[in-house]
Structure 1
């Protein structure tokens, strides 16, 4: 059964409460099916979001040359962090579809989605060097955007889906 604080954080009534909840080190319990955590190499917690089975989120950033937003979208699937799809608004430097890796689908606005990637992330975690405010790495979840760059620009962080099925 989730704690009252955990329950409040799931409902996050406003920006101040959301900011506080993102920093709380809420441990996994028997009733907690998953948590997405962003932790700096120093051990400082950047974010901690409830991420139950089936829930999805995206990492969004501004392309360093063209400046438009790029998305990598994940889902908590059966205890695993799975990259499902990516959005690329242009064929700018370094952004292209690799044949045999998902399928390219028009977004109707000049860009495209790479759908059907369905790639499990090894160890349910990966490292990221958080970009400057211009790059603005941000997490998108349940209609909210959380800027990692505002909290950790230039730092190396680990983005980790913690589940009862995954290693600590």
Structure 2
């Protein structure tokens, strides 16, 4: 074959017409990638920060399921569960379950409704916004701070005692979600603290 009469692709793309073609291709690629890069999904990042100041991500939770924070009241020694939902990029306390009204606990007039549920007193419909981030100081093991979301349970007091645990709502793109899961640090302690039941 004789290739002498044909111009190379590089030669054809030189000059103004070639530049216009390359710009058009770049724009099309950008438009195709935009849905992957635009914030489309809310997640809840859970991090632990010790007294030394280092921060580690211990979980990434979907913002679509309720998140329950449970602990044992430090004064009366009775369990409390607070259910949070994510609404408009902030946490909202929807429901609280407690064994009895302990110190500092109780129902405020005009906030939700209460009813008995076995040994628990349940306050529902609280609809109390608390912001886009929540920091909890995980108590000693006897305080038994836990975090539940869907079928995941994190034993905060057992694995991160006396550390600041922060739940933060973030908007991420589909690409970030996929990349974040692939790049999630492998921490055997996180797996142990999420999967094991206490003996």
Say which is worse superposed, 124-133 or 42-51, in terms of deviation.
42-51
1:118 match: 127
CA separation of 1:63 and 1:46: change in aligned 2, threshold 3 A: farther
Q: 1:163 aligns with which of 148, 156, 171?
A: 171
> Where do 5+ consecutive residues of structure 1 fail to align?
1-27
Shift of 1:81: 1.7
Shift of 1:31: 5.5
- CA offset at residue 60 of structure 1? 0.5
- Corresponding residue for residue 65 of structure 1: 75
Structure-2-length-normalised TM-score:
0.59
Structure showing the higher helix proportion among its residues = 2
Q: Could you say what the CA RMSD is over the residues aligned between the two structures, in angstroms?
A: 2.3
**Does the residue aligned with 2:158 lie in a helix, a strand or coil?**
helix
Whether the aligned pair in 2 keeps the contact of 1:85 and 1:115 (CA below 8 Å) is yes
Residue of structure 2 equivalent to 1:51: 62
- The SS at the match of 2:42 is coil
CA distance in 2, matches of 1:161, 1:113: 26
In 2, Cα distance between equivalents of 1:163 and 1:105: 36
1:96 CA drift (Å): 1.4
1:103 matched to which residue of 2? 113
Larger Rg: 2
Corresponding residue of 2:84:
74
Q: In the TM superposition, what is the alpha-carbon distance from 1:72 to its structure 2 partner?
A: 0.8
Q: 1:129 to 1:29 in 2, by over 3 A?
A: farther
Aligned counterparts of 1:119 and 1:46: Cα–Cα separation in 2: 27
The CA distance in 1 between the partners of 2:165 and 2:67, in whole Å, is 17
**Aligned partners of 1:37 and 1:162 also within 8 Å:** no
- Cα displacement (A) at 1:111: 2.5
Question: 1:115 is paired with a residue of what secondary structure?
Answer: strand
Where 2:139 maps in the other structure, the secondary structure is coil
Q: Across the two proteins, how many residue pairs are aligned to each other?
A: 134
Structure 2, unaligned runs of 5 or more:
1-36, 173-199
